[in-house]
Structure 1
C-alpha cells in the first residue's frame, strides 16, 4: 500500500503565530503529532509519504503515486479538510480520515465522501481499519469505546518532518483530564481518567529528537500534564538527570490546570526538568462564571495568588480566557484585562465562548433550544454559535475592545517585563543555542519595537534591565516580544471580521423586522 498522509492548512488564529513565523523564517508552529504517530502504527511493508500543508504542499506526483490518502484534522482546519477529501475522491483515491474533528462530527467527513473513518483513539481503531482493508472492504467506520494503553504507543515518525520548519516539536505524555469543565471536549475525546506513558517511553522520544539535532522548544501537548500528579512526578524525576546529562537541549512547555499552584514539589520538579512555560485555562476572574462552567478547581484558591506563585517559581504563564458564560455580568472583558495586567500574563488567549460538539454544554444548550445551526471553527474571528444570556452584540463589542487593548504594543511590552520581573525562582542554566531564526527575529524586534514604534524608549530600557539583572530569562523575554508581533497584527483581523459579522447580523435583523410588517412584506416581495 502506498499511503499519502496529509495535514490540512491551519487558518490564521491566535495559535498560528503567522507574523512571528514569517519574521523568523519558519513555516509552522507545531507538527501534527497525531498523524506522525499514526504513521508509526502502519504496517512496515507500506510506503508512506507525508505532507504538512502548512510547511509544503504535496505534489501532483504524490497524488498520482498513492493508493490511499489519510487525513487528520482539528475543527479549525475543516475547510481544507473537506476540500482534500473531495479532491481524493475526484482522483479516484481511497480516502481515510481521523483526528478530533471527524471523531466529534463524523457526518462532515461522510458527506464529503470519505471512505474510511478511523475515529476515537488510533491504537484501538487503526487495527480495525487494517483488518477491513485485508478483507477488501470498500468503506467503513471504525470506533471504540475502549481507551488504549498508551504505554504501547510507538515512537512518532519524527523522521518524516522537516524539523527546521517548526517553532516547536510536540510530544505527548498523557491523555485525559480528571476535571469536567462544561465547555471542554477533552473528556469526550479522551476520558476523565488520565493515562500516561512510562518515563522510559518519553526519554526514548527525547533521545530521538536529540540525535536528530533538535534544540528548540519541545511542547508536551497533554491537555493537562498534571492530570495524574503521581505519574507526572515519576516522569519528571527521570527527566531531570537526562536533561542535566544532555546540557538541557530543549526548552519545555506544556498545559496544566491551575491547581499546579497547590503542589510545591510538582512545581519545583517541573522547573528543574527544564519547563519554562505552561498554558493554563484561567477562563475568567468572575467566580460565578467559573461555577456555571463547572470549573470548580479554579475557585478553591485566589486566582491571582495562584498565578503569582507559579510565576515566582520560574514558569511563564500563557492563559486562556473566555467571554460569554451564562449569567455573565457586563464588564467581564475589562475585569479580564485588569487581571492580565496585574499578573503580567503576556499571551492571554481570549476567546468568545463556543459550544463544541457533544460536550455537556452542547447537550444542555440543545435541550434549551439555544444552539445555533452551525459549528464554530473555534477561532477568535467567529461569532458565538448559541444564544447567550446577555445580548450578543454587547458581548462581541466587549470582546473586540478587550482583545484590541490586550495587544496594544506598549501595554504588551510593559506586561511582559512585569511578568519576567515576577519570575524569581532559580531555573537551571541553559546555554543559549542561537540559529539564524532567532537572529532574524531579534533584529526585526529591535527595528520594529525599538525604532519604528512608539515603544522605542520602553523597549531599549527594558531590554537593558533584563540583560543585566536576569540574563537567564533574556531568551524567554525576546521570544515573547516576538510573539507580540503576531498579536499586534492579528488584532486587526479579529476586529475587522467580527465587526463585519455584527453588521451582517444587524442587517439581517433589520430585514426580518421589515418583513414582519404586512406593508413592508408587500414592498419586499415587489422589489424581489
Structure 2
C-alpha cells in the first residue's frame, strides 16, 4: 500500500484582494528573509506520522504544496494531511478532490482537533489531539477494512517514547530551515492561542540524547542545517535547557526557537546560548498596551515593565530577539501602531512579527468574538495573521488594515534595516572577541 502525506498550502489562500494587498506590501519591505524563515519550513507533525506509517505501508511519500505541485494521477491508497487553520480551506479542497478519485483521506493537527465535526464533512477519518497512539490504532483498523470516523487521544504522550521524524522524505535542499520538536505544552494560556487544546499546559520534553540523534539524522542529509525548534516555550525548564545547550555546542548547528521573557533572568542559560548555536529567539510580547496585555494573559502583563530590560539583556549575549505583537486588540486605539513602531526601534529588536487579531477555533478569542458576532469571515484561508477577519472595537477594519501596513513599512524600511544591521554587526563583533 502507498500513503501520501500532504502539507496543504497556507500562503496565498485568502481572497484575491487579500493576496494582492499582501504581495504589494511585501514588495515594499526591506530585509524580510528572517521573517520568511518563520513562515516556510516543513510540516514537522506530518514527518512524525510518516515514521509511524512506515511499518504499515510499502511506500510513504511526503508532499509540501508550498514547494511542489500535487500529481493527482499518482495512485495512493491513503492520503493524510496535518494542517493549521490558515491551511484548512485548501485542505478541504484537496480532500474533496482525492475522495472523488476514490482515495481514503485522513487528517489531524491543530485545526481538525479544534473543529473535528466540520473537518469530518470533508475527510473520511479525523484525528483529535496528538497522534502517536491513535495512528497505530487507525493503521490496524484500516488494514482490516474497518477504520473509524474519529480517533481521539486521551493520553499524555511521553516525549521520551516518540519516534524520529522521516527527515529523509524531504526535498531537503528546498529548505533553509528544518523543524525539530523538542517539547510539547506551554504553561501560559494566551486568549488567542489554540495550541493548548492539542498539547495541554504541562511541559513535556524529549531526552537530550533523542534531540542530538535527530539533529545528527538531519546533518547526514543537509550540510550545516539551520534548525527551527518549533516548541511553544523551549527554555522554560532550566535544568533541561542547560543540559541540552551544553550538548548542542558539539553539533555545529545554528538554530532559533520560541521562549518567554523569563529567560533574561537565567544567566546560566544565557551564557550557553551563543556557543550552542542559537542566534535568534522568538518571544511573544503580544502587546505593549497595558490593558490589552492584561486582557490577553495575566502572566505576561505582570512582566510588561521588564520587556525593555529583557530584550537588552538577551541581545547583550549575542542573541537576536524576534518580538511578536498583535495590533488592533479591543483595548487598542489607533495610537497603538506608532507605539509598536517606537518600541521596536527603541529596543533594537532583531525583528518583529506583527499580526492582527485572528480568532483560531479552539481559542478563547474565537469563542468571545463568535458570541459577539464580530467575526467577519470563516474562510480559513484568510486566517494568516495579517488579513483583518474580525471587526475591531476601537477602530474600523480599514484603519486596522492601514495601521498594520504602516507598522510593517516602518519597521522594515531601508533606514530601519540599516540601523538594525549596524547595531547587530557591532554586537556580534563584540561577542566574537
Instruction: Give the TM-score normalised by the residue count of structure 1.
Output: 0.73
- Structure 1 portions without partners, runs of 5+: 428-469, 471-528
Q: What residue in structure 2 maps to residue 259 of structure 1?
A: 262
**Structure 1 residue 234 displacement after superposition:** 2.4
Any idea what the Cα deviations from partners look like across 1:405-458, whole Å, max 9, x if unmatched? 22222222222322443457636xxxxxxxxxxxxxxxxxxxxxxxxxxxxxxx
Change in Cα spacing, 1:394 to 1:55, as seen in structure 2 (3 Å) is: closer
CA distance in 1, matches of 2:248, 2:403: 44
CA distance in 2, matches of 1:154, 1:71: 18
Q: CA RMSD in A?
A: 2.7
For the pair 1:168 / 2:162, whether they are aligned, the reply is: no
Q: Is the 8 A contact 1:312 1:424 kept in 2?
A: no
Match of 1:272 among 270, 275, 280: 275
Q: What residue in structure 2 maps to residue 404 of structure 1?
A: 409
- The SS at the match of 2:343 is helix
Change in Cα spacing, 1:369 to 1:79, as seen in structure 2 (3 Å) is: closer
**Structure 1 residue 45 displacement after superposition:** 4.3
Q: What residue in structure 1 maps to residue 365 of structure 2?
A: 361
Change in Cα spacing, 1:134 to 1:217, as seen in structure 2 (3 Å) is: same
- The SS at the match of 1:76 is helix
CA distance in 2, matches of 1:373, 1:280: 29
- Structure 2 portions without partners, runs of 5+: 13-18
CA distance in 2, matches of 1:303, 1:70: 42
Q: What residue in structure 2 maps to residue 307 of structure 1?
A: 311
Q: Is the 8 A contact 2:256 2:279 kept in 1?
A: yes
For the pair 1:133 / 2:142, whether they are aligned, the reply is: yes
CA distance in 2, matches of 1:384, 1:299: 29
Q: Is the 8 A contact 2:111 2:361 kept in 1?
A: no
**Structure 1 residue 200 displacement after superposition:** 0.9
Instruction: Give the TM-score normalised by the residue count of structure 2.
Output: 0.88
Q: What residue in structure 1 maps to residue 96 of structure 2?
A: 86
**Structure 1 residue 185 displacement after superposition:** 1.5
CA distance in 2, matches of 1:229, 1:213: 30
**Structure 1 residue 370 displacement after superposition:** 4.0
Q: Is the 8 A contact 2:105 2:125 kept in 1?
A: yes
- The SS at the match of 1:49 is strand
CA distance in 2, matches of 1:326, 1:104: 24
Q: Is the 8 A contact 1:345 1:416 kept in 2?
A: no
Which structure 2 residues correspond to residues 62-141 of structure 1 after superposition, within 5 A? 62=74, 65-112=75-122, 114-141=123-150
For the pair 1:29 / 2:40, whether they are aligned, the reply is: yes
Q: What residue in structure 2 maps to residue 42 of structure 1?
A: 53
Change in Cα spacing, 1:45 to 1:128, as seen in structure 2 (3 Å) is: closer
For the pair 1:221 / 2:225, whether they are aligned, the reply is: no
Q: Is the 8 A contact 2:9 2:87 kept in 1?
A: yes
- The SS at the match of 2:120 is helix
Which structure 2 residues correspond to residues 281-360 of structure 1 after superposition, within 5 A? 281-297=284-300, 299-300=302-303, 301-360=305-364
**Structure 1 residue 352 displacement after superposition:** 0.7
Change in Cα spacing, 1:84 to 1:299, as seen in structure 2 (3 Å) is: same
After TM superposition, the structure 1 stretch with the greater mean CA deviation from structure 2, 157-166 or 353-362, is 353-362
- The SS at the match of 1:302 is helix
CA distance in 2, matches of 1:290, 1:423: 32
Any idea what the Cα deviations from partners look like across 1:7-44, whole Å, max 9, x if unmatched? 11231599xx999999xxx9x93111111110101142
After TM superposition, the structure 1 stretch with the greater mean CA deviation from structure 2, 31-40 or 343-352, is 343-352
Q: What residue in structure 2 maps to residue 205 of structure 1?
A: 214
CA distance in 2, matches of 1:85, 1:51: 14
Change in Cα spacing, 1:346 to 1:266, as seen in structure 2 (3 Å) is: closer
Q: Is the 8 A contact 2:254 2:279 kept in 1?
A: yes
For the pair 1:158 / 2:167, whether they are aligned, the reply is: yes
**Structure 1 residue 345 displacement after superposition:** 2.1
Q: Is the 8 A contact 2:184 2:203 kept in 1?
A: yes
CA distance in 1, matches of 2:141, 2:199: 24
- The SS at the match of 1:426 is helix
- The SS at the match of 2:155 is coil
Q: Is the 8 A contact 1:123 1:148 kept in 2?
A: yes
Aligned length: 414
Q: Is the 8 A contact 2:173 2:222 kept in 1?
A: no
Q: Is the 8 A contact 2:120 2:149 kept in 1?
A: no
- Which structure carries more helix by proportion? 1
Q: What residue in structure 2 maps to residue 180 of structure 1?
A: 189
Any idea what the Cα deviations from partners look like across 1:383-410, whole Å, max 9, x if unmatched? 1325524443433332222222222222
Q: What residue in structure 1 maps to residue 426 of structure 2?
A: 421
